[in-house]
Chain A
Amino acid sequence: MAVLTVENLRKDYGRIQALKGVSFSVPEGAVFGILGPNGSGKTTLLGLITDILKPTAGSYKLFNEEPNESHRRQMGTFLETPNFYHYLSAVRNLRISAAIKQRGGDDIDRVIEVVNLTQRKDSRFSTYSLGMKQRLAIASCLLGNPNVLILDEPTNGLDPVGIAETRELIKKLHQQGKTIIMASHLLDEVEKVCTHVAILKKGELIAAGHVNDILANEDIVEISAADMNKLQQVAKTLSGYTNLKAEENILKLFYPLGTADLEQINRSFFEHGVVLNGLQVKKKSLESKFFELTN
């Protein structure tokens, strides 16, 4: 079953096209990362599928049905900022959320414990730090143990410990079979927790699918020698790599994942009279892949 199906969804703000006809679907049990730089339309997309924003065109389905508020009650959603009544305590705020969700009223202490806010649960929301507000928003999403979570930049404003904890929490929820739809501009985050990814750029969907398909890694061999010109000439005679890129004092050879043989490379150059003074293999980072996709 698809938890979410988006069909040709479009959103204009006046002359600005925030989302230009996006289609994809999120399978049940996926950790679905929506990746894109700032202003690429991630939050707009999440706003549209939660009825916060009205689409200019296109449609979407939740749980294979026409969307309505009862679907939203089955999801824990955190969009853009932690939204709570400033003058109420964490517990009182969560009582309101639980009552609207019609579930999880007896779950409040548990979710507050999960995000480590038990000691401050009776403090007013306005006294919280940014990170604590963020944690409370995550706690609110967990109320009633929903099967689907929508998280918009969930680690924003968290300290390194908080980021690691959130990542562990997402992995744990994934193991329990929950579906998580997560927007992020942090590639590292997506690489570490997501099973699926959709990449947005200026409102357009560039790619969507399984992480390994979209973000297939490569071996990058970085070599250098005293005579860079000679090095480059010799490199052109070699085979096995798919791409070659010359940078200042360094030459990059791109090999399909797991096929770069450093000994063989070193020997080839030596036999051609070039002594390498630098040789190392680097996994292609998601970051460079991301720049490649979005630039």
Chain B
Amino acid sequence: MTELLKIEWLKIKNYSAFIVLSLFFALGVVGANYAVYVFKTNVIDKSDPTPGLISSIKFYDFAHTWQTTSYVSGFLLLLPGLLLILLITNEFNFRTHRQNILDGWSRSEFFNVKLALVVIAALASTLLVFLTGLVFGFASGTSFSFENIEAVGYFFLKSLTYNMVALLFGVLIRKTGFAIGLYFVYMFFENFISALLEGLSFYLKVQNGFDIGNMGDYLPMNASDALLTFPKNVVTDMAKNSSVAPHTYSWLIFGLAILYLAIFYVWSRSRIIKTDL
């Protein structure tokens, strides 16, 4: 695999979109968290409409920093997804996916190295989030703690999901513009359906006392989104404990997120292995 990755690196290192998008993402993660940090301390805390209530929550204290950084950075995961779509559809546009096979890769080697990119991109994003969380935690003047560190794990899961969807769209659609367009359209569409399902879940609970959780969280990308929540605070607790909100079955959401990843894997792999290139 090291050999395969070395070859993949030859393709990537001189690709300008790789450099630009990686930089955007890195700056975006740090910048977005910095913006939240500054806005919270300088604006919200100073003009707290609920004296003492909101300003009492410290987003970047060590008890919360992992969760806040992961949650805020999660919105930027479209960028690595975009980069992966580019890297995958480039192969189809340049027909180098054929040349790689002609030159002596097996089809599964071609797929495996792309899958490795997906995982590496997720790991790199997670490492960035971990470091950002660490820096902001110390900047808040609190002492180091691993409390709520599982949020970084959920960020990894979310990142992996976004990247796997990118891989699947790239492999299925092949055309760069279409793949990127549909990636966004799909995300919008899924969020729209998710919102409808959420409404339905509330309705069923209130009207029929029927509660199987928020069904909006059971969709492919929303499942991994749902695990990554904003730090618990007075406001979220109020929402959660209200009698109209459906119960959150975290284990079910987690199981579904893993199941979807497995489906993306099998689907994109079989596409490369079994069909004409």
Contacts and interface: CB of A to CB of B under 8 A. Distances in A.
B3 to A, nearest CB: 8
Contact of B104 (A70, A81, A88): A70
Contacts, number: 76
Contacts of A172: none
B11 A51 contact: no
Nearest to A95: B10
Given A87-B14, A87-B16, A96-B10, A52 B96 contact: no
B107 interface: yes
B94 A102 contact: no
Contacts of B100: 100
B15 A83 contact: no
Contacts of B95: 80-81, 83
A47 B99 CA distance: 11
A256 B103 CA distance: 46
Interface residues of A, number: 30
Nearest to A89: B14
B45 interface: no
Contact of B277 (A52, A85, A99, A101): A52
B11 A85 contact: yes
Contacts of A80: 95
B104 A100 contact: yes
Nearest to A74: B104
Interface string B85-98: 00000100011101
B104 A73 contact: yes
A47 B7 CA distance: 24
A101 B104 contact: yes
B276 interface: yes
Contacts of B277: 52-53
B104 A54 contact: no
Given A50-B101, A51-B101, A101-B103, A83 B96 contact: yes
B10 A92 contact: yes
A54 B98 CA distance: 13
Interface string A71-85: 011000101110111
A97 B99 contact: yes
B150 to A, nearest CB: 40
A83 B16 contact: no
Interface string B1-16: 0010011001100111
Contact of A86 (B94, B109, B274): B94
A83 B99 contact: yes
A68 interface: yes
19 contacts: A53-B277, A69-B101, A70-B104, A72-B103, A73-B104, A79-B102, A83-B99, A84-B99, A86-B94, A87-B15, A88-B11, A92-B14, A96-B7, A96-B10, A96-B11, A100-B104, A101-B103, A102-B104, A140-B99
Interface of A: 47, 50-54, 68-70, 72-73, 77, 79-81, 83-88, 92, 95-97, 99-102, 140
Interface of B: 3, 6-7, 10-11, 14-16, 90, 94-96, 98-107, 109, 274-277
- 3 closest A-B pairs (Cβ-Cβ)? A73-B104, A83-B99, A100-B103
Given A69-B106, A85-B96, 17 more contacts: A51-B106, A52-B98, A52-B101, A52-B102, A53-B277, A69-B104, A72-B104, A73-B104, A79-B98, A83-B95, A84-B96, A97-B99, A99-B10, A100-B7, A100-B105, A101-B103, A102-B104
